[in-house]
Amino acid sequence: AQTVTQSQPEMSVQEAETVTLSCTYDTSESDYYLFWYKQPPSRQMILVIRQEAYKQQNATENRFSVNFQKAAKSFSLKISDSQLGDAAMYFCAYRLGGANSKLTFGKGITLSVRP
Partner 1 sequence: DARVTQTPRHKVTEMGQEVTMRCQPILGHNTVFWYRQTMMQGLELLAYFRNRAPLDDSGMPKDRFSAEMPDATLATLKIQPSEPRDSAVYFCASGPALGVGSNEQFFGPGTRLTVL
* 62 class by beta-carbon count within 10 Å (0-12 exposed, 13-18 middle, 19+ buried): exposed
Q: Which listed residue (8, 52, 65, 80) binds partner 1 by CB under 8 A?
A: 52
Binding characters for partner 1, 5-34, by CB under 8 A (x = yes): ----------------------------x-
Q: Which listed residue (44, 60, 69, 112) binds partner 1 by CB under 8 A?
A: 44
Query: Nearest distance from residue 7's CB to partner 1, in Å?
Result: 13
The H or E element spanning position 50 is strand 46-52
Q: Report the distance separating Cα 83 and Cα 5, nearest Å.
A: 25
Backbone angles phi, psi at 102, to 5 degrees: -65, 145
| Binding piece for partner 1, criterion CB under 8 A, among 9-17, 21-29, 44-52, 65-73 | 44-52
Residue 105 touching partner 1 (CB under 8 A): yes
- The site for partner 1, by CB under 8 A, has a size of 20
| Binding piece for partner 1, criterion CB under 8 A, among 12-20, 66-74, 76-84, 104-112 | 104-112
C-alpha dihedral, 2 to 106 to 91 to 47, nearest 10°: 20
- 5 three-state secondary structure: strand
